[in-house]
Amino acid sequence: MNHVTVVICNYNYENFLASAIDSALAQDYPATDVMVIDDGSTDGSRAIIEQYGARVRAIFKENGGQVSAYNYAIEILDTEYAIFLDSDDILYPSVVSEVMSRFSTGSWAKVQFRLDVMDGAGAPTGAHVPNTEPPADCGRLLRGGWLYPSPPASGNAYRVSALRRIFPVPEEGINRYGADFYAIYGVVLSGPVATISKSLGSYRVHNAGSGSVSFANSEQLTKAPKAFGMRWAILRNLARARLQIELPPEFHDFSHEKATFCSSVYQAPFASRWRWMLRDSRSYLHAIVANPFWSVKKKLGTLVLSGLCLVPYSPLSDFVVRYISNPLARRRVAGR
């Protein structure tokens, strides 16, 4: 039986950490190891981790950011498979069994699965991510510049040897965070992706209720586009230097483009919304029309919704932006 490590990278999440560790220890797959890397927390995280004793492999390091924690974990992992669980998320008991069953069916570099969305208090919202499944050959599309639909960090199980073809990655400056970007996208340059079409864990969203335009925990809406562009440039350099793969200078991703769309249009004056649509919406519209993962119906629906942002009535425009950007807003409408 192949061993699998659930790696929990933590920084100052004492309120959620025990739930994450408990969910990793509760796996029904006997050969599951649990590693907890604390990245210099200043809250009560260390005491919580130490309570688990030998049941977890505890590592306490100086604060260096999420990228440094991933770099260190991937360097010292002694199993061929790993799940990187965010310390505010949880896994369901069968996830390791199910991903290992899928790994056994082919030479997958990654197996991904859906995550149910819970609010900051841990209550289910009724939403899940992602809402679109990618093809197995995500690497081919990535080489064409398309970022494929993936769950957040906790919804991915990796072949460690594939991760090591990309990691370590630079840790300096703004690149202290976003390690999952390099894992999720870099790994598909080494092999295909398998998708399990059901939820096997829960993803916690902080301060992003149905009335919010944001659906991101780690970065502010206005910072996300800049960070993604920088990470793509770094991934290009890594792919060229380590894999002899040339990625295009620009990438396409609706999640990225909608962040630019929202920061430009949300609560903007009527004239500013029209100006952005006429002058600056080319990349946003391309990410809809040319999207290789979407059906024609979904493309048309998103275009129609986006067009409603041009109406003079600001409350309608702002509602549409929230609906497009935040899955929790969609669940609220569907539940009426």
The CATH number given to whatever domain includes residue 168 is 3.90.550.10
**pTM as predicted:** 0.92
Share of the chain above pLDDT 70, in %: 92
Mean pLDDT of the chain: 92
Shortest CA distance to 168 belongs to which of 77, 107, 249, 78? 77
Phi, psi of 128 (to 5 degrees): -145, 160
User: Is 250 inside a domain boundary?
Assistant: no
Residues 181 and 329 in one domain: no
* Average pLDDT, integer, range 104-121: 96
User: Is 328 inside a domain boundary?
Assistant: yes
Dump pLDDT digits (tens) for 172-227: 776 788 999 999 999 999 999 999 999 999 999 987 565 665 555 544 555 566 78
* Average pLDDT, integer, range 306-314: 95
* Average pLDDT, integer, range 78-94: 98
Res 256 pLDDT > 80: yes
Q: What is the pLDDT of residue 227?
A: 82
Residues 50 and 151 in one domain: yes
Phi, psi of 144 (to 5 degrees): -95, 0
Q: What is the pLDDT of residue 226?
A: 73
Residues 159, 192, 259: CA angle, nearest 5 degrees: 95
Q: 3-state SS of the chain?
A: CCCEEEEEEECCCHHHHHHHHHHHHCCCCCCEEEEEEEECCCCCHHHHHHCCHHHCEEEEECCCCHHHHHHHHHHHCCCCEEEEEECCCEECCCHHHHHHHHHCCCCCCEEEEEEEEECCCCCEEEEEECCCCCCCCHHHHHHCCECCCCCCHHHEEEEHHHHCCCCCCCCCHHHHCCHHHHHHHHHHHCCCEEEEEEEEEEEECCCCCCCCCCCCCCCCCCCHHHHHHHHHHHHHHHHHHHHCCCCCCCCECHHHHHHHHHHHHCCCCHHHHHHHHHHCCHHHHHHHHCCCCCCHHHHHHHHHHHHHHHCCCHHHHHHHHHHHHCHHHHHHHHCC
Residues 91 and 229 in one domain: yes
For residue 310, the enclosing domain spans 257-334
Res 82 pLDDT > 80: yes
Distances (CA, A) of 294 to 41, 63, 132: 41, 40, 7
* Average pLDDT, integer, range 226-242: 93
- In the chain, the amino acid numbered 162 is A
pLDDT band at 259 (very low <50, low <70, confident <90, very high): confident
Q: What is the pLDDT of residue 325?
A: 84
Q: What is the pLDDT of residue 175?
A: 76
Which long-range contacts does 267-273 make (Cβ < 8 Å, 24+ apart)? Answer: 267/314, 267/318, 270/312, 270/314, 273/309, 273/310, 273/317
Residues 81 and 226 in one domain: yes
Least confident of 57-61, 194-198, 256-260, 284-288: 256-260
User: Is 8 inside a domain boundary?
Assistant: yes
Dump pLDDT digits (tens) for 169-180: 999 776 788 999
* Average pLDDT, integer, range 304-324: 94
Q: What is the pLDDT of residue 242?
A: 96
Residue 161 near residue 112, CB atoms below 8 Å = no
Residues 234 and 281 in one domain: no
Q: What is the pLDDT of residue 206?
A: 83
Of 215, 243, 271, the domain-final residue? 243
What's the structural domain count of the chain? 2
Q: What is the pLDDT of residue 212?
A: 66
Residues 302 and 159 in one domain: no
User: Is 236 inside a domain boundary?
Assistant: yes
